[in-house]
Amino acid sequence: MSADVAVVSLADVPAVELPGGSWSKVLVAGKTVGGTSSALGYSVFKPGTATADLSHAVEELAFVVSGSGTVRLESRDVPVAAGQALYVPAGVWHTVANPGGDDLVMVFSFPAPDYPPTRRRASRAGGGIR
């Protein structure tokens, strides 16, 4: 049995627009490469922005490529910076915030064939930086 390697360029996938000019792209997924059991994406969080609170049905892995920011949990805030990896267990509410002056760039993945079922609610900061 042989399999081909699929290559997906950042420019080939439409962005999911996020508040404040931030964006995210799911690069590797069932709809882009077919037959995958995992998803891989890329996000850019602009300075002064924060996502809605998210809770995914599966765990999330992420790597901070550049910049720094905060992952807000219900019980505490976790500072993150370039060169760090994150593990977010399934069902944990979290918000990605960028209070800095540079873009916060992250690569993320899920053990799911696409972006997983996700609950959303307004962030504790109303979508911006508190």
Domains of the chain: 45-130 (2.60.120.10)
Q: Are 39 and 28 in contact (CB under 8 A)?
A: yes
Residues 28-59 pLDDT 10s? 999 899 888 999 999 999 999 999 999 999 99
pLDDT class for 11, splitting at 50, 70, 90? very high
User: Per-residue pLDDT for 128 more than 50?
Assistant: no
Maximum separation of any 2 CA atoms in the chain, in Å: 54
- How high is the mean pLDDT of the chain? 91
Q: Are 32 and 55 in contact (CB under 8 A)?
A: no
Residues 95-105 pLDDT 10s? 999 999 999 99
pTM of the complete model: 0.89
Residues 49-92 pLDDT 10s? 999 999 999 999 999 999 999 999 999 999 999 999 999 999 99
Q: Are 86 and 71 in contact (CB under 8 A)?
A: yes
Rounded to whole angstroms, how far apart are CA atoms 47 and 64?
15
* Confidence (pLDDT) at 4: 84
Share of the chain above pLDDT 90, in %: 85
Could you list the beta-strand ranges (E) of 29-67. Answer: 39-45, 49-50, 53-56, 60-66
